[in-house]
A = this chain, B = another copy of it.
Amino acid sequence: MSHRNREFEIISKQATEGVKELLGVPSDFHVFFTSSANEIWERSIQNLVGEKSLHFVNGAFSKRYYEIAAQLGKKPVKFEVEAGHGFSMDIPVEDGVELVALTHNETSTGVSVPMDFINQFREHYPNALIAVDSVSSLPYPQYDFSKIDTLFFSIQKGFGLPAGLGVWIVNDRCIAKSEELLARGLSIGSYHNLPTLLQHGKKNQTPETPNVLGIYLLGRVTEDFLRRGIKIIRSETEYKAAILYQALSVHPYASPFVAEPAHRSKTVIVAQSGDHTKLISDELAAAGLHAGEGYGDRKKTQLRFANFPAHSREQFEKLVDELEKIR
C-alpha cells in the first residue's frame, strides 16, 4: 500500500485516535510515529533541548537516554542511583534545565517510579519540559497529562506487536520549543523534527514511508484493548504482579530484586535468583514458561518476568504454581 493515499490516512488516524482514547490523551497533545523508542530518545533531545537536560538514571535504559544527549552535543546532567533502587522525593535543584527526562519503568532492573514522583516536576521546574519514557509499562500506567509534556513507548512490549514502531506523544509546548531552537539556528534534524511531523500528522500522514503494517496493527490492538476495557487491563496487571511478587517474597531460592515495594514495577518483575537462576529457568521451561534473563552482568543471577496485557491471569497463576514447586 502507498502511504500517500486515503486508505493509509484512515489507518493512521485509527491508530492515533486509538492511542489517545486508550491512554486518555488530551486534545492539545499530538501522536507521532517513529521507528523505535530509541529514535525518540534522540529526537526528543534534538527538538527539545538547546543545552541542558536533567536525567534520572537508575539502570541501562535511563542511562542511555542521558548518553544520547551528550552524543548530540548537549550538556546533560544526571542524578543517578544504584541498580534496583528508586529515587527519594528530594529532587535536586539545577539551574537552566530545559528538559527533565524520566524513565517510568527501568526495564533493566524492574524499578518503576511512582506517579507522585513524576507529578512533582511541573512545580519544581515550571520552565522545563517533562519527558517520560514509558516503553515497558504502557498501557498500564495512567498519566496526569497536565504534569508532563511528552510521553513515548514502542509497540513490542505492552502492546505485544512485532518491533519496529515508536509512538511519540507531545504537547504544543514541545512544538513551540522545537520552533524556538530552529529559529535560534540549532539543527533539530530533518524529516523527523517536530514541525515536520506536525505538518504531516495534521493530514494523518508521515514525512517518510513508515512501517505501515505496524501502524495498522497498533490500530487493531488499541481497538481490542478498548473493547476489553483499560480499567480491566490495569486491574489484571496489578493482580498478576501481586501474586508473582508474593510468590517471590516467600520463595526459598529467589526474592524480588527491588527491595522497596513502592518502587517495584508492575510490568517488569525482576527476581534475584543467584545460584538457583539456571535451575528455576530450566524448571519453568519444562513447564512451558519462558523466564527472561537478567540484564547485562546480572544475566546469570536474575530472572525477568514481563507482565503485559497479552499475559493472562491463568498464565501467571500457573507461573506461581510452578515456582512454588521448585524448592
Interface residues of A (CB under 8 A from B): 2-3, 34-39, 41-42, 67-68, 71-73, 154, 156, 162-165, 187, 189-193, 207-214, 292
Contacts and interface: CB of A to CB of B under 8 A. Distances in A.
Contacts of A192: 42
Contact of A190 (B42, B156, B162, B193): B42
A38 B68 contact: no
A210 B73 CA distance: 25
B71 A187 contact: yes
Contacts of A191: 38-39, 41-42, 68
Nearest to A4: B293
Contacts of A189: 42, 71-72
Contact of A211 (B41, B68, B211): B211
A189 B189 CA distance: 10
**Most B Cβ at <10 Å: residue of A35, A42, A154:** A35
Nearest to A216: B162
Nearest to A45: B190
7 contacts: A35-B208, A42-B189, A68-B190, A71-B190, A72-B187, A162-B212, A162-B213
B42 A210 contact: no
A190 B72 contact: yes
A156 B292 CA distance: 33
B72 A210 contact: no
A73 B38 CA distance: 23
Given A41-B190, A71-B187, A164-B213, 8 more contacts: A34-B35, A35-B39, A35-B164, A36-B209, A42-B190, A162-B212, A163-B210, A164-B210
Given A39-B35, A163-B3, A209 B154 contact: yes
A164 B161 CA distance: 14
Q: Please list the 10 inter-chain residue pairs (A to B) with the smallest Cβ-Cβ separation, ordered nearest first.
A: A164-B211, A35-B35, A38-B208, A71-B190, A68-B190, A162-B213, A163-B209, A36-B208, A73-B187, A42-B190
